[in-house]
Structure 1
Amino acid sequence: MAVKVYERVLQLFEAEGIGTIFGIPDPNFVHLFHLAEERGWDVVAPHHEESAGFMAEAVSRMTGRPAVCVGTLGPGMANMAGAMMCAKVENSPVVFLGGQRARITEQRVRRGRIQFVRQSELFAPSVKYAASIEYADQTDEIIREGLRKALSGTPGPVYIEYPSHVIQEELDVPPAAPPETYRLVGQTAGPDRIAEAAAAVRAAEQPILLVGHGVHTARAGEQVKELADLMACPVIQTSGGTSYIKGLEDRTWSYGFSPSAVDAVVRSDLCLAIGTELGEPVHYGRGRHWLENAAGRTWILIEQDPGAIGVNRPVDVPLVGDLRAVVPQLVEALAGSPRTPSPQLAGWIEQDAARLAELAESAPSGRSPVHPARLVVEATRAFPPEGIMVRDGGATTIFGWTYSQAKPHDVLWNQNFGHLGTGLPYAVGAGVADGGARPLMLITGDSSFLFQIAELETAARLDLPLVCVVAVDHAWGLEVGVYKRTFGQEARMPGVHWSTGTRLDKVAEGFGCHGEYVDRDEDIAPAIKRAYASGKTAVVHVAVDPKANSEEMPSYAEFRTWYAEGMQ
């Protein structure tokens, strides 16, 4: 059949189940945007191309599939560079499509060319694959190679460039083929390794599951729940794997921040790690809490990239494959012999529940401005159980690790890269992926929120049920704390404070959103309820105590052990 190149691009993405595109329409891509909308795609134009990349990443996390965003040649793609780097570090398979001048322009020996830079060579270090469609009939092979690279081994972003002279050309091509015809789909582990892993699990007296970010982004919660039930053991979250699996909420605890988790790790004689790189936030699985009983602990790692096996620590039983395929293999192997729960499990469950209740009671209250710990307690108590949680910010997120009372099944946070300002675009992307069906809550600090605040208009335009709870101290709170610890309480602190007159609830109203201002504990939950009831995207401006926000971050010493240079 005869199709234009831009139509073929859409067909190839549709074969992968992709139906959403983010970006500001570039002259190269207006035909693609126009046709995508005709074909029923969600076409979302944000106010900044970096936001487009973050929104696409959120869609990928919420669907378990690759996602697509588009950047205008030159400055548009420059704006997307930060989102590319973020997707690389967060292991997100985002396809970045870039417009470009025609090759006749690029290859001439000229100076002063408008809106032009050689993009591909600049972006290549930030992506798994960078390519350009030089001829129309390369479209299938390059798009498929991009998808193959994005989804093979450790997932990650790719960059594909369309010079303006190519995208309007015509192709005579067959219908787009399904993914399994051009890339490996559902890779399983060898039966010998599965048998070895199952035997090790059966022999273990104190096994644990270490669950990372990849379980959520692969949408593999149900399969992991089956495995956890057969193993009858604790589920320990990495800092990136903070989405709770339905049915496992009471025995899922945060590594390093929950006494139950620490005790379970110390006592464990087998760790089955899923969806995690075993990186710094879990001390590579060999430092700090893992030191005790290290010689008696067996390690099983489910990992899609064979090149990752044994890098951060030795692995006794590597299971190389897609966790969505490997976990069911383990479930089948263990199905006839479920374990008896570890004797300490019930006690750990009680201990963690008591700890959360005690934290809710002990979080300082009765202050105005509000203590940030109390903000987290009250906001997460008001979080709709079926909702989607998004996190952003420095000090605000650190308070959240300890004091959160919610156990959301979908959490989006930029943990690996630590890129501030992703929260609002992530929330928009998650809402688009979900079709606006479930309520969203973003808990963020004010400085992070201001990075991409223009996307409030995007959320309002899309009518997303999003409530942004913003801890406002008019400062870079985490950095204020660094100044104080480095130079003393009375030190000069250049570059960390901004206007104390900014009212983010009023800014929200200017974008057509609902706004609430709060400076007392007891008003937080009612403000959040009013915000959801408004039927609009909303911002709840919560004035927080700047001294507490910079000086009283809980578990900060534990957090700093992630950065113990040379010690891990």
Structure 2
Amino acid sequence: MTMGVPVYKRILDLFEAEGVNTLFGIPDPNFVHMFAEAEARGWSVVAPHHELAGGFMAEAVSRMTGGPGLCIGTLGPGMANIAGAIQCAKVENSPVIFLGGQRARITERRVRRGRIQFVRQEPLFAPSVKYSASIEYADQTDEIIREAIRRAMSGTPGPSYVEYPAHVLLAELDVPDPLPPKRYRLVNQGAGATEVAEAAKLIREAKSPILLVGHGVHTSRTQAPVKELADLMACPVIQTSGGTSFIPGLEDRTFAYGFSPAAVEAVVKSDLCVALGTELGEPVHYGKTRHWAEYEANRKWVLVEQDPVAIGVNRPIDVPLVGDLRGVVPQLVGALRESPRQPSADLDRWIEEDAEELAQLAENAPTGRTPVHPARFVVEATRAFPEDGILVRDGGATVIFQWTYSQAKPRDVIWNQNFGHIGTGLPYAIGASVAEGRTRPVMLLTSDSSFLFHIAELETALRAGVPLVCVVGVDHQWGLEVGVYKRTFEQPSPQPGVHWSKDVRFDKVAEGFGCHGEFVEKEDEIGPAIERSLASGRPAVVHVCIDPKANSEEMPKYDEFRTWYAEGTQ
């Protein structure tokens, strides 16, 4: 038993027991003690210029570590600013714990008007989180923080909100050592032995199985056991739009659902789909329409899902494996190790065809244009992607071009797929780098419209020592929305709200922050500019002038993208 531990220290103790050692936020009076203590313990303490960006940074940490992210918001306006990050974490299934400052309860319960910097926050956030609570009494600290983490990490992951009012700020506790996670929540939960055996039997009997991997494989950090499973299944790996990180050793047989002809053929021909880390939502057509429809009656499904309530919602499942990927995938590996499958008959051909298509896309991307065609912009930028780097995506049209034309196959790709919240790229890049100890280079491939959301965080990147290069395609417009105007109305038509000044120079803005800047007008300048940026030793911005007409009118495979929204929205 440790005597006289202040609440703010106990909160840090409880997060340290979960392996958390990063803290994002702008400290208000409720949190200055916590910030000073975290700094003294050697935590990475990062104060952004906007609380919303801090929330996105914490979310990136959760994606890169598989554990909870931690972000604080000052009472009133700080928590109002952070609300968008809470919504995003909910839709992106990210286990982020948001701590909100608040005035003392005696102030809240007074019959008063004209109170400063005050709003009742918890009722506002409760609908957007998996769990919300307030530490009303100091001796509730352990149970509330543990419950926040338990809920965030259990079932479908998501955010929790804990209010930290001023009246418990310096209260002291007599407490035992913090419990390890496995003592108060499920950790690496496995599935039932009967179900695992049944799934293994289906895999062994399948003629043309596929592995469908989603966002959860990356965020659970289960790439190594999934690689073992894919090797034993000897089948293609189909990426959802959220699962775009490449598993080391599987790069050649990983195909993008809907955007790769090899993926489409593999899906259509499949007689078994083993789905890992995905909700089987709109971007994969619920696993039953479009590419799945032709042989739907002949295909079996194995779904690994941590939330039992999600089983069978979007489509029937033959063998549900309820549990954490970290527990279930090794079970499948163990069940198949003595009897691996022979490679699928078409696997070598699909690998060859997918590689040929990627090379053909790079060759056929329009060249010799000034401004640079956005397809060529993506090809040249991703060819210069640094070895062992982290790729962060952001934007609308720019991301659509990246799906098709990217020449890089990183093991860590982060973007906002489910919520579609643009502007997250720069905060995500900072948070991902901090989570990795700032040891790996980070490339943000984005557009001017998205980059402007949180451009002030360039200074945060500089102060935090993040090895980051931001490659920004600049067309001085909302490219995706301009395209919608052009498809919706007869031309020429007015396009209000989607164009802005052409005098903005992002390289000069970067230099104003003390970062490195590069200005690029020609495609053959992109790679060298990225190399100089990486060598600069500072966060860098490469301003690349791209063709606005092509960016709004020539998005590749846009009709496939539109099918995600076909049900009741077109």
Give the whole-Å Cα distance in 2 for the aligned partners of 1:102 and 1:253. Answer: 54
TM-score (norm 2): 0.99
Output one character per residue of 1:409-454: Cα deviation in whole Å (capped at 9) or x when no partner: 0000000000010000000001101111111000001000000000
1:238 to 226, 240, 248: 240
Matched, 1:527 2:518: no
Compute the displacement of 1:111 (Å): 1.4
1:444 is paired with a residue whose SS is strand
Matched, 1:283 2:285: yes
- Residue 567 of structure 2 corresponds to 565
Output one character per residue of 1:438-477: Cα deviation in whole Å (capped at 9) or x when no partner: 1100000100000000000011111211100000001101
1:362 to 364, 367, 379: 364
Give the whole-Å Cα distance in 2 for the aligned partners of 1:536 and 1:4. Answer: 39
2:259 to 251, 257, 260: 257
- Residue 449 of structure 2 corresponds to 447
Give the whole-Å Cα distance in 2 for the aligned partners of 1:216 and 1:291. Answer: 28
Unaligned runs of 5+ in 1: none
Matched, 1:547 2:549: yes
Compute the displacement of 1:185 (Å): 1.2
**Match for 1:75: what amino acid?**
P
2:313 is paired with a residue whose SS is coil
1:92-111 matches, within 5 Å, as: 92-111=94-113
Give the whole-Å Cα distance in 2 for the aligned partners of 1:169 and 1:567. Answer: 52
RMSD of Structure 2 on Structure 1 (CA): 0.9
- Residue 50 of structure 1 corresponds to 52
Output one character per residue of 1:356-386: Cα deviation in whole Å (capped at 9) or x when no partner: 0000000001000000000000000000131
1:22-421 matches, within 5 Å, as: 22-421=24-423
Give the whole-Å Cα distance in 2 for the aligned partners of 1:34 and 1:534. Answer: 31
> Which deviates more, 257-266 or 172-181?
172-181
1:565 is paired with a residue whose SS is helix
**Match for 1:459: what amino acid?**
A
Give the whole-Å Cα distance in 1 for the aligned partners of 2:491 and 2:59. Answer: 40
Compute the displacement of 1:566 (Å): 4.1
Q: Contact conserved, 1:385 with 1:406, CA < 8 A, in 2?
A: no
User: In structure 2, do the counterparts of structure 1 residues 567 and 540 end up closer, same or farther at CA, with 3 Å as the change threshold?
Assistant: closer
1:18 is paired with a residue whose SS is coil
**Match for 1:132: what amino acid?**
S
Give the whole-Å Cα distance in 2 for the aligned partners of 1:422 and 1:566. Answer: 28
Matched, 1:4 2:12: no
1:462 to 454, 461, 464: 464
Give the whole-Å Cα distance in 2 for the aligned partners of 1:85 and 1:65. Answer: 19
1:15-26 matches, within 5 Å, as: 15-26=17-28
**Match for 1:82: what amino acid?**
G
Q: Contact conserved, 1:472 with 1:542, CA < 8 A, in 2?
A: yes
**Match for 2:226: what amino acid?**
V
Q: Contact conserved, 1:91 with 1:154, CA < 8 A, in 2?
A: yes
Give the whole-Å Cα distance in 2 for the aligned partners of 1:189 and 1:409. Answer: 27
Q: How many residues align?
A: 568
Output one character per residue of 1:93-130: Cα deviation in whole Å (capped at 9) or x when no partner: 00000000100111112111110000000001111001
Identity %: 74
Give the whole-Å Cα distance in 1 for the aligned partners of 2:226 and 2:569. Answer: 32
Please identify runs of 4+ aligned residues in structure 1 that moved more than 6 A: none
2:23 is paired with a residue whose SS is strand
Give the whole-Å Cα distance in 2 for the aligned partners of 1:102 and 1:159. Answer: 17
**Match for 2:493: what amino acid?**
A
Matched, 1:510 2:548: no
Q: Contact conserved, 1:73 with 1:116, CA < 8 A, in 2?
A: yes
Give the whole-Å Cα distance in 1 for the aligned partners of 2:238 and 2:347. Answer: 12
Give the whole-Å Cα distance in 2 for the aligned partners of 1:495 and 1:127. Answer: 33
**Match for 1:141: what amino acid?**
E
Unaligned runs of 5+ in 2: none
1:425-444 matches, within 5 Å, as: 425-444=427-446
Output one character per residue of 1:275-320: Cα deviation in whole Å (capped at 9) or x when no partner: 0000000000011000011000000000000000000100000000
